[in-house]
Chains A and B, each alone.
Chain A
């Protein structure tokens, strides 16, 4: 019953299944959030919308920091501005540009409200943070 050969074979076949599982899982890249993406979720989720993702990389190709952080008056502090949907609809904060003039308008709710539920107001970054990966 305790044939050592048979036992080996069993280990061998479980190796095959492990390989199979590894192969199935392999192509899913464990991507990282892009550096400097900001999540805004003070009230969004409480009021039934997904958290907002604000991407710095996308905007800094189009605007220098000084446009938002000086001209438009965004404080350089995550959570430090009173950004609410009411203020935005009044033409403040994101609404200074997302008004169908500088950028597309506020009817595209889900382009901004695009985050996974449960994310806290925060910034993706840190001194050890990587980027989007290999390119």
Chain B
């Protein structure tokens, strides 16, 4: 109340005089924001991601994601990288093992799931997965080694089980329905489950 009264008593002249002041504030504000803009610190994703502490002594030693990821094939979700493509095109060469005796297994076998309600069928590619993962990452703990033996439900996936163990945590997120539900029932010919390996 007091503040309002003071301003009122200032009269029209004082109020007029505030316009240049505000203009000045605006200019200074604009200038300041330009300074912020060139200041790498303010534009730094780590400075206000709610995760990194800018006071940390090694804050500037850490690599920012864009520097490494921007050169990889772009995606719209998750890390915004098409990881399968990045690997196949040889743009990244992640090690398969550290110990020389470890056995590396890749399996080329697609499985088509059909209990998808009104949604398109799901194609699960073993190859894309075993390029990253070992069989033991999925068998037998998450999935039985027999088509149809695991009671997979979308509700459980959304709770972080089955495919949702990785998708939604590290692999592309569950918002990307069509990437799993990728087979149109109308155009699908053949048997569900294990698909014959395509010949090139």
Interfacial residues, chain A to chain B (CB-CB below 8 A): 6, 9-10, 13, 16-17, 19-21, 23-24, 26-37, 39, 50, 53, 55-58, 60-67, 69-72, 76, 96-97, 102, 108-111, 113-117, 119, 123-133, 135
B56 lies within 8 A of A50 (CB): yes
A64 touches B15 (CB 8 A): no
Best-buried of A27, A37, A70, A97 by chain B (most CB within 10 Å): A27
Shortest C-beta distance, B50 to chain A (Å), equals: 6
B49 partner residues in chain A, CB cutoff 8 A: 31-34
Q: B39: nearest residue on chain A (CB-CB)?
A: A27
How distant is B85 from chain A, measured CB to nearest CB, in Å? Answer: 14
The answer, yes or no, to whether B51 is at the interface (CB within 8 Å) is yes
B69: A residues at CB distance < 8 A = 57, 132, 135
User: Which A residues lie within 8 Å of B53 (CB)?
Assistant: 50, 114-117
Known: A16-B22, A110-B56, A131-B77. A23 touches B94 (CB 8 A): no
Select the residue from B49, B59, B63, B64 with max chain A CB neighbours within 10 A.
Answer: B49
| Complex alpha-carbon distance, A67 and B94, angstroms | 10
Q: Is B170 an interface residue (CB 8 A)?
A: yes
Q: Is the CB of A127 within 8 A of B174?
A: yes
CB distance from A113 to the nearest CB of B (A): 7
B170 touches A70 (CB 8 A): no
Interface residues of B (CB under 8 A from A): 12, 15, 18-19, 22-23, 25-26, 29-30, 32-33, 36-37, 42-43, 45-53, 56-59, 61-66, 68-70, 77-81, 83, 92, 94-99, 102, 131-134, 136-137, 158, 165-166, 168-170, 173-175
CB pair A36 B68 closer than 8 Å: no
The answer to whether residues A36 and B62 also contact, given A30-B48, A115-B53 and a CB cut-off of 8 A, is no
Q: Which of B36, B51, B78, B173 contacts A115 (CB 8 A)?
A: B51
The answer to whether B95 and A35 touch across the interface, beta carbons within 8 angstroms, is no
A59: min CB distance to chain B, Å: 8
Q: How far apart are B35's CB and chain A's nearest CB, in angstroms?
A: 9
Which listed residue, A27, A58, A71, touches B63 by the CB 8 Å rule? A58
Pair A63/B94 contact, Cβ less than 8 Å: yes
B173 contacts A125, C-beta separation under 8 Å: yes
Instruction: Report yes or no: A114 in contact with B56, Cβ–Cβ below 8 A.
Output: yes
Residues of chain B with a CB closer than 8 A to A61's CB: 68, 92, 94
B58 contacts A114, C-beta separation under 8 Å: yes
Q: Is the CB of A24 within 8 A of B32?
A: yes
Bound complex: CA of A75 vs CA of B35, how far in Å?
46
Known pairs A31-B48, A65-B133; A23 contacts B95 (CB<8 A): no
Seed contacts A16-B23, A125-B173, A127-B174; 8 additional CB < 8 Å A-B pairs: A9-B15, A17-B26, A60-B132, A65-B133, A66-B134, A67-B97, A76-B165, A114-B62
